[in-house]
Amino acid sequence: MKQQERGLLVILHTKRLDLGSCPKISLGKPQIPRLLLRNVSCMRNAQQILRHVNVSSHDSGALVLTGTNGSGKSTFLRMLAGFSKPSAGEILWNGPDITKSGTFQQYKLQLNWISLKNATKERFTVLDNIGKAHLTLELMGLGRLVKEKSRMLSMGQRKRLQLARLLAIDRPIWLLDEPSVAFDDEGVRLLEYIIAEHRKKGGIVIVATHLPIEIDDAMILRLPPRFPRKMTLIDMLDRADIS
Ligand SMILES: Nc1ncnc2c1ncn2[C@@H]1O[C@H](COP(=O)(O)OP(=O)(O)OP(=O)(O)O)[C@@H](O)[C@H]1O
């Protein structure tokens, strides 16, 4: 990973190309990345959140975003999801810019998104939240809860339901914001397993997280803190330890 001032350059390598229903790419031609962020910056409320980010991913790529609170991980994912637009630079999917309306209509159908906020449909049962994928719910450990209203679920069970939805809505690009929060050990293993399987099929996974998560050959992009660091209570406590 190279670092250009506060800008970042990351290239994700192709592990195995399995295009599934995607258009065939002829051999011999240089292969364009499935996803390419070129010199992307992002402003929110007139504040610069991301600056000069360069990242690319081929099929099967995985990127883990880390960084301090407020460094812009969710903003990065929101931009990739099309909720906010880059203030500079471009996000290219199969070549064209995703912000072009024709491209965006197709691009958004490639995305699956998990965040702390995108809650389940509270009044629906667990099963109705994901259609008819009963077996998927069983596999995520929710088999006994299929008839429960999802508002009855614990936080970890809600997150498991989100995983079930990832599998039920089968789309190639997964944008996962803090996907392992509230999981027990088994939940984390389920998450790691479905990510690995998704990548075997050629899927791309981009994860923002503070928690350790095992993803083979993932590129780690650590976003720089946005402000000069000031002393916190923890720094004071650490100093008190020393003296
Ligand atoms: N809706 C918004 N409008 C304007 N600024 C926002 C908005 N949401 C977040 N921000 C700002 O953008 C910056 C980055 O926030 P973001 O949520 O992307 O950080 P993060 O790295 O995901 O943080 P955390 O680790 O706390 O989840 C923060 O300074 C935040 O105040």
Of the candidate ranges 48-62, 64-78, 158-172, 221-235, the one whose mean pLDDT is the lowest: 221-235
Please determine, for the modelled complex, whether the ipTM score is greater than 0.90: yes
Distance from the Cα of residue 64 to its chain's centroid: 8
User: Is the Cβ–Cβ distance between 70 and 226 less than 8 Å?
Assistant: yes
Residue 165 has pLDDT above 60, yes or no: yes
Distance CA 200, CA 20 (A): 11
Please list, in sequence order, all residues whose beta carbon lies within 8 angstroms of the beta carbon of residue 239, skipping any fewer than 6 positions away.
none
- Report the atom number in ligand 1 closest to the C-alpha of 223: 21
For position 120, what pLDDT does the model report? 78
For the cut 90, the answer to whether the pLDDT of residue 137 exceeds it is: yes
Tokens linked to 92: 């290219």
Mean pLDDT score across all residues of the chain: 87
Q: Which residue's CA is the closest to the ligand 1 atom numbered 2?
A: 44
Q: Is the CB of 45 under 6 A from ligand 1?
A: yes
pLDDT at 59 over 90: yes
Lowest mean pLDDT among 28-37, 69-78, 202-211: 28-37
Say if residue 195 is exposed, middle or buried (CB neighbours under 10 Å; 0-12, 13-18, 19+). Answer: buried
Is the pLDDT at 13 greater than 80, yes or no? no
- Name the residue among 126, 93, 125, 128 with its Cα closest to residue 111: 93
Helix, strand, coil shares of the chain, percent, nearest 5, are 30, 25, 45
CA of 50 to the centre of ligand 1 (A): 10
- Token pair of 71 as six digits: 């460094």
pTM above 0.90, yes or no: no
User: What is the pLDDT confidence band of residue 241, given thresholds at 50, 70 and 90?
Assistant: confident
Residues 62-81 have a mean pLDDT of: 96
Question: Does the CA dihedral 136-138-141-143 come out positive or negative?
Answer: positive
Instruction: Say if ligand 1 is within 6 A of residue 71 CB.
Output: yes
pLDDT tens track for 184-218: 999 999 999 999 999 999 999 999 999 999 999 99
Ligand 1 touching residue 204 (CB < 6 A): no
- Nearest alpha-carbon partner for 67 in 224, 241, 232: 224
Does residue 44 have its Cβ closer than 6 Å to ligand 1? yes
- What pLDDT does 236 receive? 83
Rounded to the nearest angstrom, the distance between the alpha carbon of 69 and the centre of ligand 1 is 8
> How far is the C-alpha of 117 from the C-alpha of 162, rounded, in Å?
11
Indicate the top mutation candidate among 8, 48, 53, 75 to test ligand 1's pocket, ranked by most ligand atoms within 8 A of CB: 75
At 126, is the secondary structure helix, strand, or coil?
Answer: helix
- Work out whether the CA dihedral 98, 93, 36, 201 comes out positive or negative: positive
State if residue 70 touches ligand 1 by the CB under 6 angstroms criterion.
yes
* Ligand 1 center from residue 84 Cα (angstroms): 12
Structure tokens at 148: 């429960």
CA of 74 to the centre of ligand 1 (A): 7
Model confidence band, residue 242 (pLDDT cutoffs 50, 70, 90): low
User: Which of 40, 49, 79 is the best mutation target for the ligand 1 pocket, counting ligand atoms within 8 Å of the beta carbon and taking the most?
Assistant: 49
Q: Which helix (H) or strand (E) holds 43?
A: strand 35-44
> Does residue 89 line the site of ligand 1, with CB under 6 A?
no
For residue 29, what pLDDT band results from cuts at 50, 70 and 90? low
Report which ligand 1 atom has the smallest distance to the Cα of 178: 27
- On whether the CB atoms of residues 136 and 160 are closer than 8 A, the answer is no
Report whether 205 contacts 198 (CB < 8 A).
yes
60-99 exposure pattern, b = at least 16 Cβ within 10 A, e = fewer: bbbbbbbbeeebbbbbbbbbbbeeeebbebebbbbeebbe
- Residue whose Cα lies nearest atom 28 of ligand 1: it is 70
pLDDT of residue 28: 59
| CA nearest neighbour of 42 among 1, 106, 91 | 91
Which domains are delineated in the chain?
2-22+32-242 (3.40.50.300)
Question: Model confidence at 115, in pLDDT bands (50, 70, 90)?
Answer: confident
